[in-house]
């Protein structure tokens, strides 16, 4: 999923006229993992690393740098930033593991206006990231793409039944069997 998302980021930045993309996760360790994956991804046209061509930063104390093209963050950090709260640099379980009891509402923030991102990629979208956090996702005037290996009814509902790609378990087993026979 991450490889597919990074490929989409590359295509949107290079060919789609997009300026900034938010890669949204629900846990800090997934943000760290995503940053690593962006760093080792090689561009298909010339083999350079993604991070040699595009600036990738995790949302932290410095906020959004104007030069950053891909921002990686937990949804909790984005919400804190939208509220004008300080966002710590490193792992902060108190912040990154926070789940509100009721859906959040978001007000306009001039330091992170709705047009900040052209694309928001929601990793692990099957988790309740869109339930209580829906207000954060809908704040941005951006295309939203959800990634999940296990979509639920709520995930399909949030994305209005718009399924772009599906690779089922039976298909993966059949593909594995075909690969084994080809050897």
What is the pLDDT, as a whole number, of residue 178? Answer: 61
What average pLDDT score do residues 120-131 get?
75
Query: How far, in Å, CA of 62 to CA of 173, rounded?
Result: 46
CA 25, 27, 29, 32 dihedral sign is positive
Question: CA-based angle 154:157:160, to the nearest 5?
Answer: 155
Write the pLDDT tens digit of every residue in 18-55: 999 999 987 888 889 999 999 999 999 999 999 999 99
Write the pLDDT tens digit of every residue in 78-122: 999 999 888 877 777 778 778 888 889 999 999 999 999 999 999
Q: Which residue has the higher pLDDT, 177 or 100?
A: 100
What is the pLDDT, as a whole number, of residue 38? Answer: 97
Dihedral of the CA atoms 27, 30, 36, 42 (nearest 10)? Answer: -130
Query: How far, in Å, CA of 84 to CA of 108, rounded?
Result: 10
Q: What does pTM read for this prediction?
A: 0.83
Q: Which residue has the higher pLDDT, 89 or 135?
A: 135
| Cα 70 to Cα 99, 103, 112, 121, distances in angstroms | 24, 26, 14, 10
Write the pLDDT tens digit of every residue in 139-150: 999 998 888 777
pLDDT band with cut points at 50, 70 and 90 for residue 179: low
């Amino acid at each position: 999923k991450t490889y597919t998302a990074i490929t989409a980021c590359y295509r949107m930045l290079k060919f789609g006229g997009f300026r900034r993309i938010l890669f949204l996760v629900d846990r800090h360790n997934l943000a760290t993992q995503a940053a690593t994956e962006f760093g080792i991804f090689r561009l298909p046209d010339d083999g350079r690393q993604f991070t040699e061509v595009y600036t990738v930063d995790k949302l932290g104390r410095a906020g959004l740098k104007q030069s950053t093209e891909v921002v990686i963050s937990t949804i909790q950090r984005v919400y804190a930033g939208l509220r004008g709260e300080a966002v710590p640099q490193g792992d902060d379980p108190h912040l990154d593991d926070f789940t509100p009891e009721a859906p959040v509402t978001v007000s306009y923030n001039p330091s992170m206006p709705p047009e900040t991102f052209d694309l928001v990629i929601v990793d692990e979208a099957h988790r309740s990231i869109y339930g209580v956090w829906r207000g954060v996702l809908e704040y941005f005037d951006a295309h939203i793409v959800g990634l999940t290996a296990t979509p639920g009814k709520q995930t399909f509902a949030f994305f209005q039944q718009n399924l772009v790609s599906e690779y089922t378990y039976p298909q993966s087993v059949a593909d594995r069997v075909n690969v084994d026979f080809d050897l």
